[in-house]
Amino acid sequence: PPLFPPFQICVSECPNRYLTFLGAQRSPAQLEYYRQFCVPEFKALQKVGCSVKMGWHGVLSPPPLARRCFPAIQSKKGVIMVGNQTTYDDGQGRQRNVTELLEGAKKANVVLEARQLAMKIFEDYTVSWYWIIIGLVIAMVVSLIFIVLLRFLAGIMVWVMIVMVILVLGYGIFHCYMEYAKLKGEAGSDVSLVDLGFQTDLRVYLHLRQTWLAFMIILCIVEVVIVLLLIFLRKRILIAIALIKEASRAVGHIMTSLLFPLCTFFLLCLCIAYWASTAVFLSTSNEAVYKVFNESTCQFSGQSCRPETFNTSNVTKLCPDAQCLFAFYGGETAYHKYLIALQFFNLFMFFWLVNFVIALGQVTLAGAFASYYWAFKKPDDMPAFPLFSAFGRALRYHTGSLAFGSLILAIVQVIRVILEYLDHRLKAADNKFAKFFLSCLKCCFWCLEKFIKFLNRNAYIMIAIYGTNFCTSARNAFFLLMRNIIRVAVLDKVTDFLFFLGKLLIVGSVGILAFFFFTQRIKLVQDTAPSLNYYWVPILTVIVGSYLIAHGFFSVYGMCVDTLFLCFLEDLERNDGSAEKPYFMSPDLKKLLKKTNKGQPD
């Protein structure tokens, strides 16, 4: 252990004069002033218990910084000085240069700059918070408008994007051909890629005809593949577009679903607060550990001691200069030894609760949107309050299924955390096989977590539809999706594209508007915009907040699309359009699939 452990004490004010311990020893009159910056147990002629040990036992006269006392190092005419001196006595008969203390001063300067930055950011928030709220409200309105417009623009947006991809690939093929033809006859352009070999400067390959020929062939293959996929999958793309339009109608009939993420967010905040408070209590449940410290050789050095009985123990008799000082917070009991296990258990409970809250939200939304789909006359046959009804059913009948699905996911997530912990501990080791094996395990469990999340999401939809247990619902959902794997892939990619486009549109438009407003580039409101230290502070806040709002809206919309899709697949497999088993799908889907309900008008 160190000769003197680092510690801090509270003082009423920072020193107002330059003084070292060695100077105080030579001047007993100043010893009383020195004493106030040491612990109460400070003894007059022993270098123990002082709050500002800088390696040379000195007290300086700095201005207070962040309620801390730091050495007052200053520069006069390019010369580094402290206390109007350029050197100091290290207590071992040597004079040291003050420049050796610069490293500590640099760290203090970092603290000062960080504090000033934090204060300026806080000032920016105080003068711009209401404009930030206005920006977030605009993002909320734009998100809602985009979801409503998907009912009318989903097909146009998808087909325009497909045509744009085909045109871009076509232009790429044309450009490659023009470059290939332009290099004809130029010196060195006919060298093959094999003869050239690997080159660090990739621009060399652009001067070869064979490079552009390879690019042109690859683009032609991609173009042909996309065109063939469009020919064979055009009907499935139309079904995906129709389901997205139907999801927009469903959200329009259950507008309260757009506010439900706020309930989920509130419950998640409670989970985070519970986990954080428990983790803090566990981390601070240690006891103060005292160790024996001394200047001379002592057999008891580094051993634990008790301050209240130390002066009457044999240690002071055998080692007169030994002292029992605080070393660290910890403990040597069984509880303290297994504290890391308790922290992992707390983390496991956190994952379990978070996954349960997310599952509760998914089942509630799925139940509400399923009630829309299975209403024969939409929206007349829907329950009065579909969202609240679905929430009540989830709490009353499906709590066990949600807890079981969340438990499986939490176990996998905790295993991933343990693997990350082991990987961190093995960084210093030079065992390549162990690192490789650990990397493989991390990759496998990452894939497993993604698969379980996908399976759980669809299992919760089946639970909301039929009320079956988790295992039965997961099995039925998995095989239902596998029987329609192409439809699943097409719908997934179409919805991913629309959600990406929507988030890009919302975040980009609101972010650009915030940029022009806070940088005072809009002349109409130039005088209204607040004066800021850093205009990027409110802009970044608006951008991040807009993304979170858009993500919340589209998470509800995505759950609606997935629910209607599973209901649509179940409708196709279980019903045949007869009077006993009529189709519940919308007229647009029936027209697209050429399905009719016999004896009943659509």
The pLDDT tens digits of the residues spanning 349-401 come to 999 999 999 999 999 999 999 999 998 888 788 888 899 999 999 999 999 99
Q: CB of 239 within 8 A of CB of 589? A: yes
Residue 155 has what pLDDT? 80
Among 148-157, 182-191, 583-592, the minimum mean pLDDT is found in 182-191
Checking if the pLDDT of 58 tops 70, the result is no
**Averaged pLDDT for residues 204-211:** 78
Give me the mean pLDDT over the 426-448 stretch: 85
Per-residue model confidence (pLDDT) at position 55: 35
Peptide bond into 379 cis (omega under 30): yes
Task: Using a pLDDT cut of 70, give the percent of the chain over it.
Answer: 80
Q: Is the pLDDT of residue 188 over 80?
A: no
More confident of the two residues 191 and 510: 510
Provide the mean pLDDT of the chain.
80
Cα separation, 554 vs 258, whole angstroms: 9
Q: Given this model, what pLDDT does residue 84 score? A: 66
Segment 155-170 shows an average pLDDT of 84
pLDDT at 73: 60
The answer to whether 371 touches 382, Cβ cutoff 8 Å, is yes
Does the pLDDT at position 320 exceed 90?
Answer: no
What is the rounded radius of gyration, in angstroms, for the C-alpha atoms of the chain? 35
Distance of alpha carbon 466 from alpha carbon 597, whole angstroms: 23
110-132 tens-digit pLDDT: 666 777 788 888 888 888 888 88
pLDDT exceeds 70 at position 293? yes
Which of 102-106, 359-363, 488-492 has maximum average pLDDT?
359-363
- 3-class state of residue 329 by DSSP: strand
pLDDT digits (tens, 9 = 90+) for 539-552: 898 999 998 888 88
Confidence of residue 453 (pLDDT cuts 50, 70, 90): very high
CB atoms within 10 A of CB 272: 13
Q: Using CA atoms, how far apart are residues 451 and 412, in angstroms rounded to an integer? A: 11
- What pLDDT score does 40 carry? 61
How confident is residue 518, by pLDDT bands cut at 50, 70 and 90? confident
* Alpha-carbon distances, residue 371 vs 45, 390, 469, 533 (angstroms): 84, 9, 19, 52
Is residue 253 within 8 Å of residue 378, measured between CB atoms? yes
> Which is nearest to 400 in space by CA: 368, 367, 363, 370?
363
Least confident piece of the model among 43-47, 249-253, 521-525: 43-47
Determine the length of the chain.
602
- Is residue 47 very low, low, confident or very high in pLDDT (cuts 50, 70, 90)? very low
Mean pLDDT within 261-270: 90
DSSP string, 24-87: HHH-GGGHHHHHTTB-TT--TTS--SBTT--SS-EE--PPPBTTB----EEEETTEEEETTBSE
Range name among 90-99, 255-264, 319-328, 536-545 with the lowest pLDDT average: 90-99
Of 8-12, 224-228, 301-305, 569-573, which gets the smallest average pLDDT? 8-12
pLDDT tens profile 194-204: 776 766 666 77
